Chain A
Amino acid sequence: MTTLTKSNHADHAAEFIADSQRTGWHDQALWFIRAKRDKAAQAVPEWEQLRELASQIKLHTLAHLPDYLEEFEANATRKGAHVHWAHDAQEHNQIVLQILQDHGAKRIVKSKSMLTEECHLNPHLERHGIEVVDTDLGERIVQLRGEPPSHIVLPAIHIKKEEVGELFHRCLGTAAGATDPKYLAEAARGHLRDKFMNAEAGITGVNFAVAETGGFVVCTNEGNADLGISLPNLHIACLGIEKLLPRAQDLSVFLRLLSRSATGQPITTYTSHFHGPIPGGRLHIVLVDNGRSRIRQNRLFRESLKCIRCGACMNTCPVYRRSGGYSYDNTIPGPIGSILGPLQDPKHNRSLPYACSLCGSCTEVCPVKIPLAQQLLTWRGEIVRMHLLPWTKRLAMKAASIVFRNTWLYNFSGKMARWFLPKMPRFLIYNRFNAWGKHREIPAFPQHSFRELYEKKNGRKQQS
């Protein structure tokens, strides 16, 4: 899918940062989770071995993905589930709609699933007269605001409790000016309980699917997935094909990594294993490709499919923490989103690989050892190769390269800059063309370069 629109992370980020207080608070909130993650990880002495093992299991699974998918399908079918294959988002949405229409289901409760966000399932179903209620509290908040999630684990992390109070006052009839989180959560609980009781189908995402058993695992902290599929008789589980694991015992590696990396919890409050439909119910599993097979064959970015969507790379990313999830203008934000986004649509997402200072923290924190920073750098090379880098930057680099290739030109340019710049009036240096100087002084230019002084001191003799 390629769009004609172009999005620029730096512009969106500047808008977010203009609200200095919110930026500080957003950064602190996410850093708090990063710190919790550190503490939880430090409590597991074999943490680094677990990461390596998880990475190896994922690489193995990806290498044998077609076989494991067929094994999963056979075992899930044996357990009474109906397995569907969706080539892309559109097909996924059609399959889900068809299942719902076949059952005459018009009121749906959905637990958190980034895949259905990626496929834009909600608007598709709504267009066909179906009500979809996101039942994760954070998801419900952004849904009521008409926004997508700004973080894959903490969808409403960018919203303050005062804003939630206002929203709930408007949508759920809570007291005006109420900001007490407990009171607001209780109100949401009552509102959602009503939706659960009247739901005709439940949709969930999937954290892990197991080939050898045909079962799958959904992790939540609110128990909303369990309620959503226990009350109605119809359960639709949507999963990206990269969510597969070969064996049930592999869960012992991934469940230890997932919630510790995501929120710093040893385990999520609910870790629900599903093996076939509930008695008297129906279970449909939709396996979605939507570009994943293409990524699997991509030598450069294959490892991005190891992702278990824990969000640790977002929590640790110093850019994400200060620019907010929406600045990425992509379903999945942050470092992993900046790799996956351009794989879906390089033109629209061409600025994302540059929304990164290459600090490398994401690589170190990733529980499945995706070389995120390295892949972001690789993407920059691809952006240039695809002629998607703005020509001004391309030209600047070309010019710099010519200067650096010729030592005499480099020496001369340096001399000129050091001679001119200190003599220039301030307004000629600090203006809108100088992004460096907007909030920073330029370095104090010395009269002589190191090599000029070195030559003076040591003579020109030992030219190497």
Chain B
Amino acid sequence: MQVGLFVPCYIDQLFPDIGFATIEVLEKHGVEIDFPRQQTCCGQPMANTGCKEDTRPLAVKFYEIFKDYPYVVCPSGSCVSMVRHHYDDYLAGRPGFEELKHKTFELCEFLTDVLGVERIEGRFPYRVGLHNSCHGHRGLRLGQPSEIVAPPFNKVGKLLSSLDGVQLTQLCRPDECCGFGGTFAVNEEAVSTRMGLDRLSDHEQAGTQVLTAADMSCLMHMEGLIRRDRKSIHVMHVVQIFAGRQPPF
């Protein structure tokens, strides 16, 4: 099975290990990876600011690069949500676009829904706090939002808890936003950082040792707060845990 790997721009530039961890996990499950070098950004920062004309060429670029792959996989719920839910404005009617939307997957849902992975091999003996990043959680329905009256499920949580030794911590607010929100993080600096600090307090009271999520952007924001305040929580993208990386303690 061949997969076009989409590595979000900020992961490419700032968190290269997440790209490699994604490749390792996918290859372990028999997936053949291709990383097309022309890719950059899905255009979400511009789209979320309302700058549609600045987004359009990036959506077209993504479409041109990825439309012929059988699957596209990306270690970010937010970027996948951009493709699946917001590219219609730019690409509706183009040949293969509908298919592209439906064959572009966030990593965890690709593992559970396409590959049928039930458990991840390995050991991770820590108290893990799962941050349910909004665009993956509510947007892609990686889990059942707490607002909805329906049976609960959580694709990321299920994979995480299948690792030996993992103890998922119990949060007071299991799916509250961390306040990253892309440009929101700087436009609304006061609200954004307050939201992040409140999330971290919830993890602290729950005894989280390792804070993880399927979106590094939320974690980048919270990690910035952790380092500034010298908190003792360690941050890892969920795919790094799946790939067997360990925290430095």
Interface residues of A (CB under 8 A from B): 9-10, 13-14, 17-18, 23-24, 27, 31, 38, 41-42, 44-45, 47-48, 316, 318-319, 322-323, 353-361, 363-365, 377, 379-385, 389, 393-394, 397-398, 400-401, 403-405, 407, 410, 414, 417-418, 435-436, 438-443, 445-446, 448-455, 462-464
- Taking the nearest CB of chain B, how far is it from the CB of A175, in angstroms? 36
Nearest CB to that of A366 among chain B residues?
Answer: B147
Chain B residues with CB below 8 A from A383, complex form: 50
Please tell me if B145 contacts chain A, counting CB pairs below 8 Å: yes
Query: Are A384 and B51 in contact, CB atoms less than 8 angstroms apart?
Result: yes
Chain A residues with CB below 8 A from B150, complex form: 48
Binary interface profile of B, 181-207, with partner A (CB < 8 Å = 1, else 0)?
111111111111111111000000000
- The answer for the CA separation of A359 and B192 in the assembled complex, in Å, is 12
Query: Are A443 and B189 in contact, CB atoms less than 8 angstroms apart?
Result: no
Nearest CB to that of A353 among chain B residues?
Answer: B50
Query: Are B138 and A364 in contact, CB atoms less than 8 angstroms apart?
Result: yes
- The answer for the CA separation of A31 and B173 in the assembled complex, in Å, is 9
Known: A23-B194, A404-B41, A435-B189. A318 touches B177 (CB 8 A): yes
- The answer for the CA separation of A454 and B16 in the assembled complex, in Å, is 9
Query: Are A13 and B35 in contact, CB atoms less than 8 angstroms apart?
Result: no
- Taking the nearest CB of chain B, how far is it from the CB of A132, in angstroms? 35
- The answer for the CA separation of A407 and B76 in the assembled complex, in Å, is 20
Chain A residues with CB below 8 A from B47, complex form: 377
- The answer for the CA separation of A410 and B57 in the assembled complex, in Å, is 14
- The answer for the CA separation of A356 and B45 in the assembled complex, in Å, is 14
- The answer for the CA separation of A443 and B12 in the assembled complex, in Å, is 13
Nearest CB to that of B19 among chain A residues?
Answer: A450
Chain A residues with CB below 8 A from B228, complex form: 439-441
Nearest CB to that of B149 among chain A residues?
Answer: A47
Please tell me if B36 contacts chain A, counting CB pairs below 8 Å: yes
Query: Are A358 and B50 in contact, CB atoms less than 8 angstroms apart?
Result: no
Known: A31-B173, A44-B149, A440-B225. A414 touches B12 (CB 8 A): yes
Q: CB within 8 A of A13: which of B39, B147, B188?
A: B188
The segment out of B94-102, B156-164, B216-224, B241-249 that lies at the interface is B216-224
- The answer for the CA separation of A261 and B57 in the assembled complex, in Å, is 42
- Taking the nearest CB of chain A, how far is it from the CB of B210, in angstroms? 17
- The answer for the CA separation of A356 and B184 in the assembled complex, in Å, is 7
Query: Are B149 and A42 in contact, CB atoms less than 8 angstroms apart?
Result: yes
Please tell me if B112 contacts chain A, counting CB pairs below 8 Å: no
- The answer for the CA separation of A405 and B40 in the assembled complex, in Å, is 8
Nearest CB to that of B56 among chain A residues?
Answer: A401
Chain A residues with CB below 8 A from B11, complex form: 450
Most chain-A CB neighbours within 10 Å: which of B45, B46, B147? B147
Chain B residues with CB below 8 A from A410, complex form: 9, 40-41
Q: CB within 8 A of B221: which of A10, A38, A356, A440?
A: A440
- The answer for the CA separation of A452 and B184 in the assembled complex, in Å, is 30
- Taking the nearest CB of chain A, how far is it from the CB of B80, in angstroms? 15
Query: Are A355 and B188 in contact, CB atoms less than 8 angstroms apart?
Result: yes
- Taking the nearest CB of chain A, how far is it from the CB of B30, in angstroms? 19
Chain A residues with CB below 8 A from B19, complex form: 450, 454
Known: A38-B147, A357-B195, A397-B54. A384 touches B184 (CB 8 A): no
Chain B residues with CB below 8 A from A389, complex form: 49-51
10 closest cross-chain pairs (CB), A and B: A380-B50, A357-B181, A440-B224, A359-B177, A401-B54, A364-B147, A464-B36, A450-B19, A450-B16, A14-B190
User: In B9-56, which residues have CB < 8 Å from any A CB?
Assistant: 9, 11-16, 18-20, 34-41, 43, 45-52, 54-55
Chain B residues with CB below 8 A from A360, complex form: 134-135, 138-139, 145
- The answer for the CA separation of A147 and B51 in the assembled complex, in Å, is 36
Nearest CB to that of A377 among chain B residues?
Answer: B48
Chain B residues with CB below 8 A from A318, complex form: 176-177, 179, 195
Please tell me if B58 contacts chain A, counting CB pairs below 8 Å: yes
Known: A42-B149, A404-B41, A448-B16. A9 touches B225 (CB 8 A): no
Binary interface profile of B, 118-156, with partner A (CB < 8 Å = 1, else 0)?
000000000000000011001100000111111000000
Please tell me if B180 contacts chain A, counting CB pairs below 8 Å: yes
- The answer for the CA separation of A23 and B194 in the assembled complex, in Å, is 9
Show 5 residue pairs from A and B whose CB-CB distance is below 8 angstroms, ordered by the A residue: A355-B191, A361-B177, A381-B52, A401-B55, A436-B185
Nearest CB to that of A407 among chain B residues?
Answer: B38
- The answer for the CA separation of A218 and B10 in the assembled complex, in Å, is 52
Chain A residues with CB below 8 A from B45, complex form: 397, 400
Chain A residues with CB below 8 A from B134, complex form: 357-361
Chain B residues with CB below 8 A from A448, complex form: 16
Q: CB within 8 A of B194: which of A322, A365, A407, A417?
A: A322
Chain B residues with CB below 8 A from A463, complex form: 37
Chain A residues with CB below 8 A from B41, complex form: 400, 404, 410
Query: Are B16 and A438 in contact, CB atoms less than 8 angstroms apart?
Result: no
Please tell me if B7 contacts chain A, counting CB pairs below 8 Å: yes
- The answer for the CA separation of A441 and B225 in the assembled complex, in Å, is 7
- Taking the nearest CB of chain B, how far is it from the CB of A314, in angstroms? 14
- The answer for the CA separation of A441 and B193 in the assembled complex, in Å, is 11
Knowing that A355-B188, A439-B197 touch, tell me 6 more A-B residue pairs with CB under 8 angstroms.
A13-B191, A381-B52, A389-B49, A393-B187, A404-B61, A454-B35
Known: A400-B46, A404-B9. A354 touches B184 (CB 8 A): yes
